Amino acid sequence: MTTTFHHIESLRDALQSQRVKKRIALVPTMGNLHDGHLSLVKLAQEHADVVVVSIFVNPTQFGENEDFDSYPRTLEKDMSKLTEAGADYVFAPSVEEMYAKLPVDTKISMGAIAEQLCGQSRSTHFDGVAIVVSKLFNIVQPDVAIFGKKDYQQLAIIRQLVQDLSYPIKIIGGEIVRAEDGLALSSRNQYLTEKERQTAPLLHEEIQKLASHFARGEHLIVGTSALIKKTVQTLTAAGFEIDYLKIRTQQLQPIENQDKQLIILVAAWLGRTRLLDNQEITVL
Ligand code: AMP
């Protein structure tokens, strides 16, 4: 049975008795659940006895001109999906329950890792993520927490948060779940027009092609920028406006010639929808 809580104290009370003998997993989400989220619930069930899914559209991670107000909120549908998936507890607090006062005076600054990639165009985003995830960690006190690799930079930032603040929580990254045509599932995909939805899978297709060039070590011969430039040109010609397309180590550091575990990270606008994707690479 799935039980829903809207208040911190009642969730804490319910978890109190479970905590003694059972492992607790947390899956933080903003709701509007799709198969990507549900894959994280499944992963959580493999690592814990009690699975808590939080559903909270967190205002502190949205910039001023972003889609906080219009972000899809579908709590009832989400609950039936979570019941079917066998989640134990759903935590769906109001903004007032989570934040006595906004803006929050307490800041968590994630430093350099949060300033690159998405942080370039969303300067306060990851500090907002760090605040809400810290609060959720303190409320739920899970043994494990599951985050998707879809938001790869977010996952890396959470790992840093856990290390820097000594949270006794194991962080597990779930693989990206995609539509049949390759588009990474995302709640924001529903902003795409029909025509944009047809173009959208090209993002994955092109970064996969680019990944195969890196995997063959071609960047060591022609240089990374030459490889990336071609992909940017193809995507731009198809109608994408590239926010960034970068190659990093899997710890999100600039790459050196000897690095073998790489990742391509991309954010691109298609009309009014910002799409995010990435591809891990092992250089052969
Ligand atoms: P969101 O509701 O968008 O904040 O996402 C909640 C969690 O689900 C985050 O850890 C995301 O990385 C993860 N997630 C979102 N989309 C996918 C996907 N297509 N595959 C796997 N995980 C995902």
Handedness of CA 240, 243, 248, 254 (dihedral sign): positive
pLDDT digits (tens, 9 = 90+) for 192-241: 999 999 999 999 999 999 999 999 999 999 999 999 999 999 999 999 99
What pLDDT score was predicted for residue 183?
98
- H helices within 109-193, ranges in order? 118-121, 125-140, 152-164
Query: Under the phi-then-psi rule, with left for phi > 0, alpha for psi from -120 to 50, and beta for the rest, what region is 248?
Result: beta
How far, in Å, CA of 80 to CA of 70, rounded? 22
37 catalytic, yes or no? yes
Distance 209 CA to ligand 1 centre (A): 24
* Ligand 1 pocket residue status of 184, Cβ below 6 Å: yes
Distance 147 CA to ligand 1 centre (A): 7
Tally Cβ neighbours within 10 Å of residue 55: 23
Distance 15 CA to ligand 1 centre (A): 24
**What's at 94, amino acid-wise?**
S
* Ligand 1 pocket residue status of 37, Cβ below 6 Å: yes
Please tell me the chain's helix, strand, coil percentages from 3-state DSSP, rounded to the nearest 5.
Answer: 45, 20, 35
- Tokens linked to 175: 């693989």
Tally Cβ neighbours within 10 Å of residue 90: 23
What pLDDT score was predicted for residue 59?
97
pLDDT digits (tens, 9 = 90+) for 155-175: 999 999 999 999 999 999 999
What pLDDT score was predicted for residue 161?
98
DSSP at 178: B
